[in-house]
Structure 1
């Protein structure tokens, strides 16, 4: 039986160690040049912390490797992406506009690392390595928001997504909602909350995302317990666009949504 191919992330870590050693740098010396602690450098090289674009961009700068490590990170992210998800990722990466609706969770593109990890760890069948890979992949997707010309993102979520506070999760949730408010104040992101008093609405049937490309065409994506489905048939996309209008119409404007989020956070942050 042929050996399993080495995951791209492992190859990146091995190359980081090799280039650091070739340059005659200790972890502490390299960390000073890249503006990281020696413990952070060690954690990344040992796979105890997920790779991220900022860390690897600094590595490219220190080693003079152009954008080699950043490009490899994109391949590493794909290692953990199931085949069924890749068509949607291509649409997401090329999107000029994204419309996200979530009835129970914070949208993936707006999640913090701690929140994403807590959500993904809800699947008890995953190993620690699998959790780390999925978290790294989710964070890597968020790089589209840091581009010079990022997509316009409109996120609508039900108020129930804000009320996941428990004594154990308070720090994670407070951090996530603070992060959400920060995004809501960016020019390319708008966040809208459907308040509980709205009652029943069509969005409670499930989450979905719509991506608009350069040519004006729309593609949708539906999540479910076993994976997800790309929606690209005209009639089905039109249904999702109509559902979008329905949930957007009952959601609060951004400024009121931010006020509501702050009100939800207050008992857990004072």
Structure 2
């Protein structure tokens, strides 16, 4: 789902930069490993914008990443209206708190785990699945920027252990990534062990973001999308529930030890 004005801008910039470099479509195509007709189709809007193509174009034309950055904007602008306010809150957050009872949180998913998860939706064609994957991975840059938010995630041990033999390779890589992320000073992953049978968090996942003004907003995921929560009373309930789920979880160090133990149990 590209934002059409931004996509049109990318195509116009691509053509302008190619002509400025005095390259025909055929010459340019050879440099980016695309055919003459494929380059023409991209410039005319007959072919969707492709992240790999634009990355090669940025390298060949020496743009400093301009075209790829514009594609990220197009993808962000193409998000459904209910998701945009949350993307903005997530990007500007100084603190993020996430509880996930059934999945690895999106900001901590490996590319393979995210791809596997997105592809469980058989209503998505491969192009839309790839676009959603790109957006999810792009969102993760919030944790690697120069001044990242403090991110605390609470997950269930059962999520880590949900790995039959065919999925263990992906899951092993994913748990290793969680352990690595946990070593970062601004990231903490806490695991609620399986012997905690019931707690309030099991009602559903939620994320909280604290902005520069000190105010919190929440985000609730559901099967049809999600809801941004900015009503003070509802945010206060989510903050209280956060304290409850966080208190059920192991410490950072104990959680890392448990994650290591889970991976070792598979071999």
Q: What is the TM-score when the length of structure 2 is the normalising length?
A: 0.82
Q: What SS is found at the alignment partner of 1:101?
A: strand
8 Å CA contact retained: 2:190, 2:250: yes
Structure 1: give runs of 5+ residues left out of the alignment: 31-37, 40-44
Shift of 1:60: 4.8
Aligned twin of 2:264? 266
Residues 1:72 and 2:66 aligned together: no
Shift of 1:95: 0.2
Cα 1:9–1:127, aligned 2, differ >3 Å: closer, same or farther? farther
Render the CA deviation track for 1:117-138: whole Å, top value 9, x for unaligned. Answer: 1111111111111111110111
Aligned twin of 1:176? 174
Q: What is the TM-score when the length of structure 1 is the normalising length?
A: 0.81
Structure 2: give runs of 5+ residues left out of the alignment: 35-40
Aligned twin of 1:160? 158
Cα 1:60–1:120, aligned 2, differ >3 Å: closer, same or farther? same
Aligned residues, how many? 251
Render the CA deviation track for 1:92-123: whole Å, top value 9, x for unaligned. Answer: 00000000100010000011111111111111
CA RMSD, 1 decimal: 3.1
User: Quick one: distance in 2 between partners of 1:7 and 1:181?
Assistant: 41
Q: What SS is found at the alignment partner of 2:198?
A: coil
Cα 1:149–1:125, aligned 2, differ >3 Å: closer, same or farther? same
Cα 1:59–1:194, aligned 2, differ >3 Å: closer, same or farther? farther
8 Å CA contact retained: 1:103, 1:203: yes
User: Quick one: distance in 1 between partners of 2:114 and 2:206?
Assistant: 18
Aligned twin of 1:35? none
Cα 1:14–1:165, aligned 2, differ >3 Å: closer, same or farther? farther
Aligned twin of 1:51? 51
8 Å CA contact retained: 1:98, 1:212: yes
What does 1:234-249 align with in structure 2 at a 5 Å threshold?
A: 234-249=232-247
Aligned twin of 1:93? 91
User: Quick one: distance in 2 between partners of 1:194 and 1:5?
Assistant: 40
8 Å CA contact retained: 1:183, 1:189: yes
8 Å CA contact retained: 2:158, 2:194: yes
Q: What SS is found at the alignment partner of 2:214?
A: coil
8 Å CA contact retained: 1:50, 1:136: no
8 Å CA contact retained: 2:112, 2:170: yes
Render the CA deviation track for 1:50-69: whole Å, top value 9, x for unaligned. Answer: 738xx84x865663434523
What does 1:57-136 align with in structure 2 at a 5 Å threshold?
A: 60=58, 63-136=61-134
Residues 1:150 and 2:148 aligned together: yes
User: Quick one: distance in 1 between partners of 2:62 and 2:217?
Assistant: 39
8 Å CA contact retained: 2:3, 2:78: no
Shift of 1:158: 1.0
8 Å CA contact retained: 2:51, 2:68: no
User: Quick one: distance in 2 between partners of 1:17 and 1:159?
Assistant: 51
